[in-house]
Structure 1
């Protein structure tokens, strides 16, 4: 198969070379497209590589009939409608490490420029002046730097700041106190950081919780001598409130590389202020960074399209190398169990996935595989692990994940609650690599989890197996294996007949009419 990849923003030549050299990949480069222009051509492409310029809206995604992946050469993905991409089943990847050093260095450069008034001093010199006494600066040694966000970039800034003998404090919603201590950083609340920091540098993503995080109230809690740096995302700082705080002396200075609207309007209030340093979103703009992110995202795109490997996924669960290696052999078990119960359940309300033993920690990615395969059989439409959660929500189906690490065997057990009651299936991959069904509908068994099968509920009475076998034999149905599960208390049984081909409906009807047979279902896994 040939995969078509569209590159819609300027990318380093070394990145494009990765795509051009990849076997089975066809590359098209078209930059500067409007939303309508992108919608008009996106339908045939399997991959889309972007930077910050392209806006991947819900409208674009709706037109992207073949799209499988979006690769962002850089970190921020606020120009991608993640919800719409996920619902469409489109994987979104970024390169969180490729420009981390470059962006961290730029944030510190902005702080340097503020502390020593370098831009103003340069402008004064170029105007033929020698105003040595006017540009009195500030040292960074011994000062407290407050970091809002301690991810990849924030950690690099913290490391460099400690080299300058600064005290580093930080606020981060996911970092633990122990992790912060290992970085020699004190973890504090947001309000405490505002009150203690001499310099504040923002390294957080733009999400609903950080929109205008720095507003008039926040500026009122900062030291009037404090300096603010934002080289993260525009919109985290309320720029109107910042301009007012700088004018009123509530803040000593600010340096911004990012803006809520880019480029900002010509009459932007920050342009008229002397205690402000501004750069046009240059955080990632070094030759080295652009080479790295271009190559990395193109390598990731090729790996995903050709081999299904997700690297730096933004809207998919993150797996370490060890987990990714271990989950691979179990994915097919998950898919086949999901497909099996997808053909047995009716009007499902809940799909519960229990991973036990050595695979207990892999329950999240396995549960998505189960749900996708289950919904494909239920709907007859294409569903992938990414879109499955949205499809399930639309159908009021709840996905429940259960970890059972204390169980000895690495089993995967699926339980579906539906209008009729409960359906269960348990499977695992044997040591020899076979996919085995070790339990179905509460009956223990050891069957092959592959191909076509008849699932028959019946009374445990003499002659039933023979009668079913006779009907199948007369119809020319080739039976490869038979497994029987018994419930001695109820006198009920479940038979699983592995057959070579799909059984005609007329034959199924004939089997259903046999004495002591309650139900017959043909399934394919």
Structure 2
């Protein structure tokens, strides 16, 4: 759906599982509230400032975009706008069509040896940098989440502040999302500290460059030229001053308007929504862990492990949790840990809350319940090449802990519960028994299960020391009734019995 308005006929949305939108469709709180079955909002494009993300997250609705489909299209448009502005091509075209020959009065500037300042080094910003380097431009970049090593590989001089970029650049181009932090990023103050004759390009989102400040800079001569594809209000007003300025190049939000880009984003959003609805993978979600196929191959097994560990911990903790500490050690630290932590939070909350919990709202649900999430990591490995440890701090002052790892590439294993080492695959129904390490304790448990026709598939044992506290995992076939668990808890030398369903 597309249109410069909120969605009409919202009552129809109640039957939809997914919604596909373009840039001008407003997905408001009311629209999301009407989507009783809505699970995914897919943006065929990049910007999602037309979607109420907070409300979508609260409702557990995935909002995804398609950042790759129009990357090259937007980067090429940026370079095209830059060249058109620098060589004054649109103005020259107008004079020719008016029957004039203005050869002597139209003079441009070269790209070679000029400094290009790129605000935002995401996919599009990096592609612009690659193309600008081919023109022999010097490139200065600002992005607080981009490493200096990565910048050096792209021949980008990374600066620590937007002010430093503005002062150094002959041409400034912005490639950031539109957020409260980036609104008016290039404003009156920054235009004032820029080089005389600076040129400014915006093919990202309207409002990142303050239009009034830009207009003032163009009128004063401080800004030699501007190339704009996006605007604070779209469509651009017919009487807007930009339309009358010969040193301003304007296009009507065309950066992604190529045949290839439109096909790419349509195909991408359809595939992403289908995958999300099947429950296989969530890609390019802006309010949930976003995982591409290559990353999923690496972190998917860890996510499976951490989610099942979270479910284990929920049963072990029993009482209210005030804080969840997630500690990583070893090779797992080489990956993006955010989706792994989110999976652990989801697993922890799933058995404990009545509302739906998914990868979109898991952290939000935890925060609303006063559960702090703390993540630590160390590359040092001890007993296992990779280890994940979840520790729950309880409101009564106690704590519960569980550790897990992967055997091979994708086989989850629980290896430690509350300091007792014992190995079990977190699959199916598991009866976890904590007992005093005395003869006959486990024999009585096995006999009781047999009497109730509960078949034991596998057992794993661990203990602190002989005669002390012991831990037994009993993997069983089928369901186990509460009456059976009650009878097990009443047996001699049994400390606790928990049924964990993974």
Q: Identify the residue that residue 283 of structure 2 maps to in structure 1.
A: 311
Deviation at 1:482, TM superposition (A): 4.2
Q: Which of the numbers 14, 37, 40 marks the counterpart of 2:8?
A: 37
Alignment of 1:486-497 (within 5 A): 486-488=463-465, 491-497=468-474
CA distance in 2, matches of 1:314, 1:432: 28
Aligned twin of 1:407: 382
- Which residue matches 2:435? 458
Match of 1:329 in 2: 301
Provide the C-alpha distance between the structure 1 equivalents of 2:141 and 2:348, rounded to a whole number of angstroms: 44
Deviation at 1:262? 0.9
CA contact (8 A) 2:326 2:390 kept: yes
Q: Within 5 A, what are the aligned runs for 1:469-488?
A: 469-488=446-465
Structure 1 partner of 2:255: 283
Contact 1:95 / 1:312 at 8 angstroms: preserved in 2? Answer: yes
Distance 1:241 1:521 in 2: 65
In 2, Cα distance between equivalents of 1:259 and 1:33: 14
2: CA distance between counterparts of 1:50 and 1:138?
Answer: 40
Partner of 1:437: 414
Equivalent residues, number = 496
**Which residue of structure 1 lines up, in the alignment, with residue 36 of structure 2?**
65
Q: What TM-score, normalized by structure 2, do the two folds share?
A: 0.88
Question: Does structure 2 conserve the Cα–Cα contact (< 8 Å) formed by 1:357 and 1:408?
Answer: no
Structure 2 match to 1:4: none
CA contact (8 A) 1:436 1:448 kept: yes
- 1:164 is aligned to 135
Q: Which of 310, 327, 333 is the matching residue for 1:354?
A: 327
What is the Cα deviation at residue 327 of structure 1? Answer: 2.9
Aligned to 1:419: 395
Q: Which residue of 2 aligns with 1:206?
A: 178
| Contact in 1 for aligned 2:284/2:292 (Cα 8 Å) | no
1:416/1:423 contact within 8 Å kept: yes
1:144 is matched with 115
Distance verdict in 2 for CA 1:224–1:416, change over 3 Å: same
Go from structure 1 to structure 2 and tell me whether the alpha carbon gap of 1:408 and 1:39 turns closer, same or farther (over 3 Å shift). farther
Cα RMSD over matched residues?
3.0
Q: CA deviation at 1:448?
A: 4.5
Query: Are 2:477 and 1:500 aligned?
Result: yes
SS in 1 for 2:300: helix
* Contact 1:224–1:251 (Cα < 8 Å) also in 2: yes
- 1:130 Cα offset (Å): 4.0
- Contact conserved, 1:47 with 1:68, CA < 8 A, in 2? yes
* 1:207-243 CA distance string (max 9 Å, x none): 2221101111111112332221111110111111222
Deviations 1:35-87 (A, max 9, x none): 35263233333333222122233333333333333332222222233333334
In structure 2, C-alpha distance between the alignment counterparts of 1:402 and 1:195, rounded to whole Å: 38
| SS state at 2:72 partner | helix
Q: Does 1:154 align with 2:128?
A: no
Residue ranges of structure 1 left out of the alignment (5+ in a row) = 1-7, 10-31
> How big is each residue's C-alpha offset from its partner over 1:175-216, in whole Å with a ceiling of 9 and x where there is no partner?
333333322233334223323322222222222221101111
Query: For residues 238 and 322 of structure 1, do their structure 2 counterparts lie closer, same or farther at Cα, with a shift above 3 Å needed?
Result: closer
Q: Supply the distance in 2 between the matched residues of 1:204 and 1:434 (Cα, whole angstroms).
A: 40
Q: Structure 1 residue 190 and structure 2 residue 162: aligned?
A: yes
Deviation at 1:378, TM superposition (A): 0.8
For residue 408 of structure 1, report the CA deviation from its aligned partner.
4.2
Q: Choose the corresponding residue for 1:262, options 234, 239, 253.
A: 234
1:342 aligns with 2:317: no
- Using the size of structure 1 for normalisation, the TM-score is 0.84
Q: CA deviation at 1:507?
A: 3.8
Cα distance, 1:385–1:463 mapped onto 2, change above 3 Å: same
Helix, strand or coil for the counterpart of 1:80? coil
Q: CA deviation at 1:343?
A: 2.0
Q: Deviations over 1:69-125 (max 9, x none)?
A: 333222222223333333433333333332222222222332333333333333334
Cα contact 2:391–2:400 (8 A) shared by 1: yes
Gaps of 5+ in 2: none
State the distance in 2 between where 1:161 and 1:447 align.
Answer: 55
User: 1:441 deviation in Å?
Assistant: 2.7
Counterpart CA distance in 2 for 1:89 and 1:207 is 21
Q: SS of 1:377's equivalent?
A: coil
Deviation at 1:379, TM superposition (A): 0.8
Q: Is the deviation greater in 210-219 or in 353-362?
A: 353-362
Contact 2:301 2:412 in 1 (8 A): no
